[in-house]
Amino acid sequence: MKSIKTFGELTKHLAETGMRKKVAVVWAADESTQHAVEQALADGFIEATFVGCAQEIQSQDFYKTHKEHITLVEATTPDEAATAAVALVREAQADVLMKGLINTDNLLHAVLNKQTGILPKGNILTHVTVADIPAYDKLLLFTDAAVIPYPTHEQRIKQVEYAVNVCHSMGVDCPRISLIHCSEKVNEKYFPFTVGYKEIAQMANEGKLGQCIVDGPLDVKTSCCAESMSTKGICSPIEGKADALIFPDIEAGNAFYKTITLFAGAQTAGLLQGTIAPVVVSSRSDSTQSKYNSLAVAAMIAPKA
């Protein structure tokens, strides 16, 4: 499979495969969730199970058009819908979970439930964004802009593993994963996690993290620009061509996310990883387009239940 370099290529690829993934949508009372799901139905890469808001959905024009690919499940509250949708994923009746008009914390309550949830023991819940930045010549994945405040060394290893998996699913066979820091120097005193960076790079070298190249510490610019790397006299197997950036903390990840969307014209897709199926948890301020992109990435990377 050729690597997918833009969201346009992604939806084209999904259309060509003709495979529909099953998406369980929790309480889709908001327009932007409905529109994103409608577009994905129209493009033919999902089947949707709306959990809750059945009457609302039945009254929409798109319901008639896509009836054969829509299932309606009753639920009286958003929380009840969350529990029911999570159960569908757990029972392998859905490949993707998607948040509608429900507080993220409430959705996560169902996702993380030790008995009935969908986060396997030993996994961590972390947020992955895939960005289509006009000034970069391929998709750029990064983590974590939304969930883990200050990842531990163990959490960071998992973040790398999940990033590698997503890249593989997107057709990048040997992704370059850059461990981000404000400098290229290991600094045990002020930035002890940079010592861990070297260990993670070593693990990758030993093949313990799958087919990938990992290096760091590197800053955003040296990670994504071969010229900056050579100006600084840095040699790194990332070669200024990173496929994924692992940010040291949520502040840096979030600043990156907000900056590329606001100032660099980037389109994004956001997902939770670590769960048995990808979870689309866009926020109120995300556009319909962003929710649609998230569905497309989720459909691409979700294992068929």
Residues forming the site for a copy of itself (CB under 8 A): 133, 135-136, 145-146, 149, 180-183, 190-191, 219-222, 224-225, 228, 231-233, 247-256, 258-266, 284-285
Nearest distance, CB of residue 217 and a copy of itself, angstroms: 10
Strands 140-143 and 126-132: antiparallel
Question: Based on CB atoms, which residue is closest to a copy of itself, 16 or 262?
Answer: 262
Question: Based on CB atoms, which residue is closest to a copy of itself, 95 or 219?
Answer: 219
Question: Based on CB atoms, which residue is closest to a copy of itself, 67 or 153?
Answer: 153
Residues 6+ apart with CB under 8 A from 217: 179, 180, 181, 183, 184, 185, 186, 191, 194, 197
Question: Based on CB atoms, which residue is closest to a copy of itself, 52 or 217?
Answer: 217
Nearest to 286 by CA among 265, 304, 300, 268: 268
- Which neighbouring-strand residues pair with 21? 46
Whether omega before 286 lies within 30 degrees of 0, making that bond cis, reads: no
Nearest distance, CB of residue 26 and a copy of itself, angstroms: 21
Please give the Cα distance from 39 to 89 (Å, whole number): 22
CA distances from 164 to 140, 143, 199, 204, 273 (A): 12, 11, 17, 11, 12
Determine the length of the chain: 305
Question: Based on CB atoms, which residue is closest to a copy of itself, 111 or 266?
Answer: 266
Please give the Cα distance from 22 to 39 (Å, whole number): 15
